Amino acid sequence: MQDLILHHYASSPFSEKIRLILAHKRLAWQSVVVPAVMPKPDVMALTGGYRRTPFLQVGADIYCDTTLIVDVLEARQPTPSLFPTDASGRPTEGAARLQADWADRQLFWTAIAYAFQPAGIAALFDGAPPAVVQAFTEDRGKMRSNAPRLPVAVAAAQLRSALGWLEQQLQAQDFLLGAAPTLADFSTYHPLWFVLRLKPIAGVFDDTPRVRRWLDRMAALGLDAEAPLHRSAAEAIEIAATSEPLPVQQPQVVGLRGMALGQRVTVTPTDYALDPVEGELLQADAQRFSVRRTDPRAGTVHVHFPRIGFEAKAVAA
């Protein structure tokens, strides 16, 4: 079986979600550090245009967005499951996926808006030259030019409100949906991990001691994890170029609005960083889109996206 290669950077919350799941599942992985801002030519060679972080490479298969990456990891290493049954033997998958989606889309942007106040920015960039801070701010401004931004005071109030809900959830149990962590915990953890590391603004957790202890419990899941092997981007591209993409198991078509397998399409996020990836449509089942594309450096790769958060469109002939 091909190695798991995570393309990520240290301060990225969505990357931390995946790093902690890899640690929880005791999965060995390899690490490629990507730039936090554009341009990202090595990322583009593999993804074909998708710029967000992280993405997962398995040989010549590229998995974009953590919603899909989580499913790849769960299939590769089913235990411990991200969807364990709760104390009464009931399944947690539905509730875990729903809460994860709330955390990834809602809580994440609330936490980011709260973090990007002057004291948070100073702690995050910790003495970096002003040009670095400016380049980051400009990059993210462009990436989210279509999306509204919460004022800090509004974000602070909304974050406190959300922490209150989580405090209630943790009243009688160690993790959000029971005695064991589920996907809900990993998705709720990463935006709060980002805030917690910014000491001058981390006092926001003072009124929710159960949440604070749960954050420590989550961090402990990664404590004795094995360090990944580091690879350069050039090595990762070479691995893609010398690997065959996995065969698409049962090509399916769900909700394609007139498109057909084999057709040239673009797949684009529906929320922000609206950069299309163009290729030949290989699969469109209820959970994912897959396209085949050929890159001068990476060769033929299959790039996969979750249906949630992405849209496919036919390319005019």
Ligand X SMILES: N[C@@H](CCC(=O)N[C@@H](CS)C(=O)NCC(=O)O)C(=O)O
Q: Where does this chain bind ligand X (CB under 6 A)?
A: 12-14, 36, 51-53, 65-67, 104, 143, 309
Q: Please state the closest distance from residue 66 (CB atom) to ligand X, in A.
A: 3
Indicate the residue among 35 and 251 with the shorter CB distance to ligand X. 35
Q: Please state the closest distance from residue 261 (CB atom) to ligand X, in A.
A: 25
Question: How far, in Å, CA of 188 to CA of 165, rounded?
Answer: 12
Q: Quick check: bond before 80 cis, omega within 30?
A: yes
Q: Please state the closest distance from residue 6 (CB atom) to ligand X, in A.
A: 12
Indicate the residue among 42 and 104 with the shorter CB distance to ligand X. 104
Strand 55-58: give its sheet, edge to edge.
229-230, 30-33, 5-8, 55-58, 61-64, 299-306, 288-295, 277-284, 264-269, 310-314
175 closest CA partner among 159, 187, 161: 187
218 closest CA partner among 10, 24, 12, 13: 24
Q: Please state the closest distance from residue 242 (CB atom) to ligand X, in A.
A: 27
Residue corresponding to tokens 């993790």 = 175
Indicate the residue among 14 and 189 with the shorter CB distance to ligand X. 14
Indicate the residue among 39 and 118 with the shorter CB distance to ligand X. 39
Indicate the residue among 207 and 271 with the shorter CB distance to ligand X. 271
Indicate the residue among 23 and 36 with the shorter CB distance to ligand X. 36
220 C-beta neighbours (distance < 10 Å), count: 9
Q: Please state the closest distance from residue 207 (CB atom) to ligand X, in A.
A: 26
Backbone angles phi, psi at 315, to 5 degrees: -90, 130
Burial group, residue 218, by CB count within 10 angstroms (0-12, 13-18, 19+): buried
Which residue number is nearest to ligand X in terms of Cβ? 52
Q: Please state the closest distance from residue 135 (CB atom) to ligand X, in A.
A: 12
Question: How far, in Å, CA of 258 to CA of 90, rounded?
Answer: 39
Indicate the residue among 191 and 299 with the shorter CB distance to ligand X. 191
The DSSP annotation for 265-304 comes to EEEEESSS----EEEEEEEE-SSEEEEEEEETTTEEEEEE
Q: Please state the closest distance from residue 65 (CB atom) to ligand X, in A.
A: 4
Backbone angles phi, psi at 48, to 5 degrees: 85, 15
